[in-house]
Amino acid sequence: MVTHTNDTVRAERPGRPAGSRPLLITLLLSSMLTTMAGAIIAPSLPAMEKHFSSVDNADFLVRMVLTVPALMIALGAPLVGTLVDRVGRKPVLTASVGLFGFAGGSGLVLDNLYAILAGRLLLGVAVAGIMTATTTLVTDLYPGESRSRVLGLQAGFMGFGGVAFLSLGGLLADIDWRGPFAIYLVAMPLTLLVLRFVTEPPRAAATPGAPGDAAGARFPKLAYGIYALVLLSQIMFYLVPSQLPFYLEDIGGIGASGAGLAIALMSLANALVGLNYGKINKRFGFKQVAVATFALLATGYVAMGATSAVPLVLVGLVVLGCGVGLLIPNFNTWLASRTPVALRGRVMGGVTSCMFLGQFLSPALSQPATGPLGIDGVYLAAGALGATVAVVLLLLRTGSRDAAPGAAAPGTPEPASRTTAGRP
Q: Could you tell me which residue, 412 or 380, shows the higher pLDDT?
A: 380
* 3-state secondary structure (DSSP) of residue 9: strand
For residue 223, is pLDDT > 50? yes
Q: Label residue 91 by pLDDT band (50, 70, 90).
A: very high
Question: For residue 64, what pLDDT is reported?
Answer: 82
What is the band of 392 on the pLDDT scale with cuts at 50, 70, 90? very high
Confidence band for 187, pLDDT divided at 50, 70 and 90: very high
- The pLDDT of 300-312, averaged and rounded, is 86
The confidence band for 190, taking pLDDT boundaries of 50, 70 and 90, is very high
What single string gives the DSSP state of each residue in 292-350?
Answer: HHHHHHHHHHHHHHS---HHHHHHHHHHHHHHHHHHHHHHHHHHHTTS-GGGHHHHHHH
pLDDT of 348? 84
CA-nearest of 155, 197, 152 to 24 is: 197
More confident residue, 337 or 24: 24
* Residues linked to residue 3 through DSSP beta bridges, in sequence order: 10
Other C-beta atoms closer than 10 Å to the C-beta of 399 total 11
Q: Is the pLDDT of residue 90 over 80?
A: yes
Q: Average pLDDT for residues 217-233, to the nearest whole number?
A: 86
Closest CA to 351 of 84, 66, 87, 156: 84
Q: Residues 296, 322: contact at Cβ < 8 Å?
A: yes
Check if the beta carbon of residue 386 is closer than 8 Å to that of residue 301: yes
Note the pLDDT of residue 191: 93
Beta bridge partners of 8: 5
Tell me the pLDDT tens digit for each residue of 99-156: 999 999 998 888 899 999 999 999 999 999 998 899 888 888 887 778 878 888 887 8
CA distances from 365 to 42, 59, 238, 257, 369 (A): 18, 15, 11, 26, 7
Residue 14's pLDDT band (boundaries 50, 70, 90)? very low
pTM over 0.85: no
Share the mean pLDDT of the chain. Answer: 79
Mean local confidence (pLDDT), 207-212 = 39
pLDDT band (50, 70, 90) for residue 328: confident
